[in-house]
Structure 1
């Protein structure tokens, strides 16, 4: 075996695994046309689809497998990075658009009754408002957001409520702040009540935290039982994800005036936390499955 044969046989694994350039393949083929020994070695490698083994060197790692590992690692890093970016965007979006309740004096510029209609004009600071009606009672809430406050995106808003004197229409402004609620129209036996934010999300957090603690205890108790341990691990990750999602959206408080909106943010953040933790916990499994 001459020097050219040594070079050719070093290149054979690349040719067999389709990793060589066209010029290299042409060079190897030209040599094998005149060299039966190299051609025989090529046929052997092609049929067995194994890497070339040198008699004086340890077994080399197939380059195709290395390339596949690098590709899988890049996919893993890409997915993980995308999830972290999405989670960051959800948290930032929540902070930017989180409703900040306004008191009556902050929100209402003027009110007037005309032609059995109540006209309400809001201050420019108001970014949005809602009217919750039940029967002839109407509760009005208004708020601003950090993004509207920062960019001055608020604009004057007006609304009109029809007055039904036969059914004794009552219109309240729900202050949601330190000030008591304000009666805008009608007569009530009570006055000066304060509407507090809802704390329902704290009860959800308490329930999930209880499940997390129980799952942790059972995981330690049955750590030698693989099937049960794997199920408990998923439960732990799920509950931990919700706890992290709640904290990332509410911080240290679970008080909310917009429970559906806030729960949507919590659930979205929890799903992203769950996906990130799963990728981190099962990183080795993910890589092994794709080798």
Structure 2
């Protein structure tokens, strides 16, 4: 049962809570769907925490490349923690209510961690460019102080960019009634469409956030790999070319795993109004669940030092 809200004589209305749909059309089997979802959330938390412990406890991994990998893992943990409670509450207990302010807080952190992940992937592409184009200066360019500054700049950028979004939503008048969200989490493009007001400012600023962060980052990543390929092609030995490119495979896969779903979510919310709701929901879940799950797998498979360090941490945990 959902609470009854009285809307008589209200000229400006903000709902005390939203109703989250979960996966539309599949409500009857939410309990079964919760099994793979909870498994993926557990895998994401376990895998990324293992990477963090492996880098921390292995002195040989105290290098720029692995510091950036730690940032990526920490971001994936944050993204998982920000969305997991409401997702599992809907699937496990059919608890579909989320308070208006709680929704705005979750929305901010969802976009915050998305911008952080995009920025970290850009920083990792810069790391690969320096390592391949100028390996002799790699350690002197990417010092610990430089990495700390990059990390602080990423956090500042991710805080400032989505910070106005909750306030832009709070100024809107919403339609009286039970307001349904398309997902089991709060996403700006989804929430703003539930308003009974002019959302032009929200649309413009939301588009600005996407283009000024993930849009620019994807272009700069593409540019960095263009320069990397130019450098690799100048190497005389085919073996050296393959070895240089092999150091980029993990990062390229991580970029594709993140940017393809996030592009799909942005495009669907802006241009896919006529698509079935279940398609919108599934694309959004892929965007939030798949990168945190796959990133530890990608790096543990492709990076022998990370794989060995993670196995060492597991062995120590078992002995402990």
TM-score for both structures, normalised by structure 2: 0.29
Structure with greater proportional helix content: 2
The answer to which structure, 1 or 2, has the higher relative contact order (CA under 8 A, 6+ apart) is: 2
Larger radius of gyration: 1
- By percentage of residues, which structure has more strand? 1
- TM-score by length of structure 1 reads 0.31
